[in-house]
C-alpha cells in the first residue's frame, strides 16, 4: 500500500525584496520610525497571509492585498498616517463595528490607475499638507487601538468606491499593495 504524504503548511519567510517594499511603504504612508507590513506579514515579520487549511486555501488577514502600518515593529507605538497628494476622499465614516473607514480615490497612485485606497482604524485629524504628502491622522483609531496592536489597516481596490464593500464584494477588486513599490534593483 503506497504511503500518502500530507502537504505540509510551512510558514513562509519574508524575503529581502518584501522587506524593502515594506520599508518603502512605511516611508510613504507613515511618520518617522513607522513600520509597515504587507506581502502577508505584520510590521514585525509575523506571517498572517494565506495558508492551506483542511479544506484548501484559507485567506489570511494580510494576504498580499493589505497592509498594517504602525509606529513600531511590535505594533505598540503610534505614528502619523499620510497619503500621497493627488487623491480625493470619497468616504469618511464609522462602520457598524465601530471602525473608522476612509476611502481615497486616485487616478494614478504610484503607477496604479483608477484605484481607491481604503484606510481603516485611523485616528483622524484635519488633513494637512506636509511636503508631497497629506497627513490624515494617526494610527490607533477604533479597531486598531489595542495596547499591543496599534495600527491602521489599508487595502487597495480597483475603481472608484464611495462605500466600503463587504469582503465578498471587494475581494475581486483587491490589488496587492506591493504593486505600489518600485521595482527591486
Digit-coded pLDDT (tens) for 40-96: 888 888 877 676 666 666 666 777 788 999 999 999 999 999 999 999 999 999 988
173: pLDDT confidence band, cut at 50, 70 and 90?
very high
Let me know if residue 139 belongs to a domain.
yes
Let me know if residue 71 belongs to a domain.
yes
Let me know if residue 5 belongs to a domain.
no
Let me know if residue 2 belongs to a domain.
no
DSSP codes joined into one string, 60-121: -SSTTTEEEEESSTTS-S--EEEEETT-EEEEEEE-TTS-EEEEEEEEEETTEEEEEEEEES
The domain that contains 175 carries what CATH number?
2.70.70
Let me know if residue 31 belongs to a domain.
yes
Let me know if residue 33 belongs to a domain.
yes
**Domain span at 59:** 16-180
Single pTM value for the model: 0.88
pLDDT at 53: 67
Most confident of 31-35, 96-100, 177-181: 31-35
Let me know if residue 50 belongs to a domain.
yes
pLDDT at 57: 64
Dihedral (CA of 7, 13, 15, 18) sign: positive
Number of domain units in the chain: 1
CA 140 to chain CA centroid, Å, is 14
Residue 53, φ and ψ in degrees, nearest 5: -100, -175
Amino acid at each position: 500500500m503506497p504511503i500518502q504524504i500530507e502537504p505540509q503548511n510551512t510558514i513562509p519567510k519574508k524575503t529581502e525584496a518584501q522587506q524593502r517594499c515594506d520599508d518603502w511603504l512605511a516611508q510613504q504612508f507613515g511618520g518617522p520610525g513607522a513600520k509597515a507590513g504587507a506581502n502577508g506579514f505584520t510590521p514585525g515579520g509575523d506571517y498572517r497571509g494565506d495558508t492551506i487549511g483542511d479544506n484548501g486555501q484559507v485567506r489570511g488577514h494580510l494576504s498580499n492585498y493589505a497592509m498594517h502600518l504602525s509606529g513600531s515593529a511590535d505594533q505598540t507605538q503610534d505614528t502619523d498616517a499620510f497619503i500621497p497628494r493627488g487623491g480625493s476622499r470619497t468616504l469618511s465614516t464609522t462602520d457598524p463595528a465601530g471602525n473608522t473607514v476612509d476611502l481615497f480615490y486616485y487616478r494614478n497612485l504610484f503607477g496604479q490607475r483608477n484605484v481607491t485606497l481604503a484606510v481603516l482604524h485611523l485616528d483622524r485629524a484635519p488633513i494637512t499638507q506636509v511636503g508631497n504628502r497629506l497627513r490624515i491622522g494617526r494610527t490607533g483609531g477604533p479597531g486598531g487601538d489595542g495596547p499591543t496592536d496599534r495600527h491602521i489597516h489599508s487595502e487597495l481596490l480597483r475603481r472608484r468606491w464611495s462605500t466600503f464593500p463587504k469582503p465578498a464584494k471587494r475581494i475581486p477588486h483587491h490589488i496587492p499593495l506591493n504593486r505600489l513599490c518600485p521595482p527591486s534593483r
